[in-house]
Structure 1
């Protein structure tokens, strides 16, 4: 029996929850929309949303549960939280970087971080970067760190060259 996920990130959108969930589920494998809840008449004086409009979208990205809420323009995403993608290859890095950054904020791209068209921050990280940065050889790890600082999208071949010296 699979373990139950006890913590589910809830992403607050103005009114793009369904659009964003559909966008994300196309990008990641093993992803789907699970359920869509809609606003009714109850609480209309508080939420101000038309009855029948999307309230909450439950969805999964690569098996990880998420909730997207159409809560209005009160809150915006910022870089204080990001979603990190563990990538096995340069092909995965390229795929996630290209698809998630399309229409996003190019000024927010640095060291594997990007901001998508909804304002959500992502870290597209090849596993080998973490391994190299964790190397007990201080000089190797610092060369990798310095190389990473000059990148927007992480390039594994450049990291490997820096690691080798």
Structure 2
């Protein structure tokens, strides 16, 4: 079945560099196709126009559309992590030149905002007896520490 919805990210000249980073960082990820600008077109001849990639099997299109629009944290990609090692790997891979934010959010150097969140986070904050403590602990963190969240849940 053909997917009806594909996420499209708008970049200002760095789509190919960004997709190469993502495809190298995340398993089950790859650059599928790169279409390039020709002579006399909007972009520099030979520069990437549209890059199609898969991240964790999800198709994403990256467009070098220019500086007219910018990515914002109002749209983010959430990566669900099973272990602290996985949290660390993705966080560290996106941190170089990026902007860490609270509660596991980070905007990478290309302007894409990510949530690097443990899979157990939803369960921990959903408990009516302990969820408030867990959320308060998470809001004090930049990169999420799973053990600290579990300690907060235990009181």
Which category describes the TM-score, using the shorter chain as reference length? over 0.9
**Residue among 84, 90, 93 paired with 1:90:** 84
Equivalent residue, structure 2, for 1:4: 2
Q: Distance in 1 between matches of 2:70 and 2:138?
A: 28
Paired residues, what number? 155
Partner in structure 2 of residue 125 of structure 1: 117
The answer on 1:142 being equivalent to 2:132 is yes
Query: Structure 1 length as normaliser, TM-score?
Result: 0.89
Distance 1:149 1:53 in 2: 40
Aligned residue in 2 for 1:27: 25
1:74-89 aligned at under 5 Å gives the runs 74-89=68-83
Aligned to 2:144: 154
Unaligned 5+ residue runs, structure 2? none
Q: Bigger radius of gyration, 1 or 2?
A: 1
Q: Deviations over 1:75-97 (max 9, x none)?
A: 11111100000101111111111
Mapped to 1, the partners of 2:84 and 2:4 lie a distance apart of: 32
TM (norm. structure 2) is 0.94
CA offsets, 1:53-92, max 9 Å, x none?
A: 2110001111111101010111111111000001011111
Counterpart position of 1:50: 44
Selected match of 2:95 from 90, 101, 110: 101
Cα shift at 1:41: 4.5
Q: What is the DSSP-based 3-state SS (H/G/I as helix, E as strand, rest coil) of the residue aligned with 1:66?
A: strand
Q: Which runs of 5+ in 1 are unaligned?
A: none
